[in-house]
Structure 1
Amino acid sequence: MRGEAGLFADLAALGIAFDLHEHRAVFTVEESRAIDGDIPGEHTKNLFLKDTGGCFWLLTVPALARVDLKALPQAIGCKRVSFGKAEDLVRLLGVEPGSVTPLATVNAAPSTIRIVIDQHIAKADRTNVHPLRNTATVGLSGPDLMRLLEHWGHEAIVAAIPAKDEE
């Protein structure tokens, strides 16, 4: 596991501009809304999923998105999905629940997890994600996030993520 030091070394090596904001631990999107106002840009939520075929998925969407998990497989080309187990999250990405982030793929071998980035996040001038821990937020551009994932050998899928209808 390369960890946060490896993440920041790669950001520097690739010349990727970013802002780092330290804050109290946040475990949910609702908790993070209290600090989001002080941090400009698109805020995200990340879902660690497993499909019925045994493949693991990391989905990054806008923080307030309500993802339709029943429609998601057709949108991204997988089988039915459910939430992944905490032990698989730690084993594959080296982070605990509450700290899920696409930046944790610094710890993942290529092809061990499929990464899906919402099309708005991938294009955003500024996207905010955790740097492997939920006590900080890193702001970088969506294109730079995609470049970083590619640098680590991950071919992220950029997709329109289906939204769940309001109930």
Structure 2
Amino acid sequence: MDASSAYQDTLPISSDALVARLDEWGLAYRLHEHVPLRTVEDAKAVEAQFMVPGETALRIKNLYLRDKKKRNHLVTLEQSRDIDLKALGAELGIGNLSFGSADRLLQNLGIRPGAVSPLAMITGVENGVTFYMDAAAQDADVICMHPLVNDRTVVMTRVDVLRFFDKIGCDVVWI
């Protein structure tokens, strides 16, 4: 199965259910449907259409990682940042990091490869995943994220993203 909305009903929380929860909580967003985006390059090709002139947007990439103690981490960074896992592990004080498997991604964040998103912390919180977010998010007007599938993008204000984390009980570690 791929990470598109065609298979969302096989996830612990579907994209539609997540969007309904955003509505229920009064969190504003703009929802865009598009071809599946599997890479940062794919996203760069379409994300300009999501923006409002004058809006400062944080475009992100997300890493599902495990440390040597088998703890799970979701790291959300500005999409153009270069990643050195050894240096990142040292910066976070958690040692050696490696990418988590697709099976663990589904088990711990409730998503498939290609749809990794901060919004997946709605499941990750329950499974003890630690969430790290690029400090650049604190200066962005909006943040573009997949709503658990890779053929949709939600654009949310920074304030509403932080309200989402509060609603689900997610502590954000700023890096």
Distance 1:114 1:135, change over 3 A: same
What 5-or-longer segments of structure 2 have no aligned partner? 1-11, 52-56
The RMSD of aligned alpha carbons is 1.6
Note the alpha carbon deviations across 1:24-75, whole angstroms, 9 max, x for none.
Answer: 0110111111102212222111000001111111011111111222221232
Q: In structure 1, list runs of 5 or more residues that go unmatched.
A: 160-167
Aligned pairs (5 A) from 1:55-134: 55-110=71-126, 112-134=128-150
Paired with 1:111 and 1:24, the residues of 2 have a C-alpha distance of: 30
Match of 1:143 among 136, 159, 167: 159
- Identity across the alignment (%): 32
Aligned to 2:7: none
Give me the TM-score of the superposition, normalised by structure 2: 0.84
When the two structures are superposed, what TM-score results if normalisation uses the length of structure 1? Answer: 0.87
2:105 is paired with a residue whose SS is helix
Q: Secondary structure at the match of 1:79?
A: coil
Off by >3 Å, runs of 4+ in structure 1? none
Q: For 1:11, which of 8, 22, 25 is the aligned residue? A: 22
Q: Which residue identity lines up with residue 132 of structure 2 in the other structure?
A: V
Instruction: State the alpha-carbon separation in 1 of the partners of residues 139 and 73 from structure 2.
Output: 20
3-state SS, counterpart of residue 5 of structure 1: helix
The total of aligned residue pairs comes to 159
Give the helix-richer structure, 1 or 2. Answer: 2
Deviation at 1:113, TM superposition (A): 0.5
Aligned residue identity for 1:20: L
Classify the secondary structure of the residue corresponding to 2:107. Answer: helix
